[in-house]
Amino acid sequence: MKKTIFFALILGFMIQSCSNDENNEQDTTKPEIDLTITDAFPTSCTSVSKGSTIPFKALFTDNQQLGAYSINIHNNFDHHSHDTEVDSCDLDPIKDAVNPWTVTLTFSIPENSQEFIAEQEILIPTDIDTGDYHFMIQLTDAEGWSTMKGISIKITE
C-alpha cells in the first residue's frame, strides 16, 4: 500500500512538471517596439519646434504580457550615442547646455495586453535650448524583460 501511494505521488509530480500549461512557461522573450506602423512618431532625424507637441505613437508587442513603458528625452549636445540608434543624423556642432530639456515620463499598459498602441502628446517647453536630443523609449513586459529604442531628434525654434 505504501509503495502504491509513493508511486502515485511520484507519477503526479512527473505529470505536473511535464504540463504544457502556458501559465507555467517562463517568459524569456523581450517585448518589441515597432515604429514602422502608420503615423508612428517620432522617427529618426525628425525636427520638432519648441512650444509644439510631439505626437508620440508606437506599437508595443510581447509574447505573453506587456507591463509599462517610459519615455526619456535628453540633450545630445555632446554627440553621445546609444546602442539602439541605427540612423545617422546631421548634428549641430558640439555645445554646452544652458537650459537643456530633460524629462522622463512613465505610463502603464492595460493588464493582459500582448499588443498595445501607445499614443501620447508631449508638450515641448518654450524656454529650452534648441539642438540635438535623444528620444528614448523603454518598454518592459510583465515578467521584467525590457527593450529600449533610441531616436535622434532635433528641437528647433
User: What is the reported pTM?
Assistant: 0.83
Domain 25-156: homologous superfamily in CATH? Immunoglobulins (2.60.40.10)
Q: Please provide the DSSP assignment of 33-101 as one string.
A: EE--STT-B--TTEEEETTSEEEEEEEEE-SS-EEEEEEEEEE-TT----TT--S----PPP---SS--
Distance CA 81, CA 100 (A): 17
- Percent over 70 (pLDDT), the chain: 83
Summarize pLDDT for 99-120 with one digit per residue, the tens. Answer: 999 999 999 999 999 999 999 9
Distance (Å) of CA 133 to CA 32, 36, 94, 109, 150: 23, 21, 12, 26, 10
Summarize pLDDT for 55-67 with one digit per residue, the tens. Answer: 999 999 999 999 9
Does the pLDDT at position 20 exceed 70?
Answer: no
Residue 24 — pLDDT band, cuts 50, 70, 90? low
- The C-alpha cell at 155 is 528641437
Does the pLDDT at position 38 exceed 70?
Answer: yes
Residue 86 — pLDDT band, cuts 50, 70, 90? low
Give the mean pLDDT of the chain.
88
- The C-alpha cell at 130 is 534648441
Does the pLDDT at position 149 exceed 70?
Answer: yes
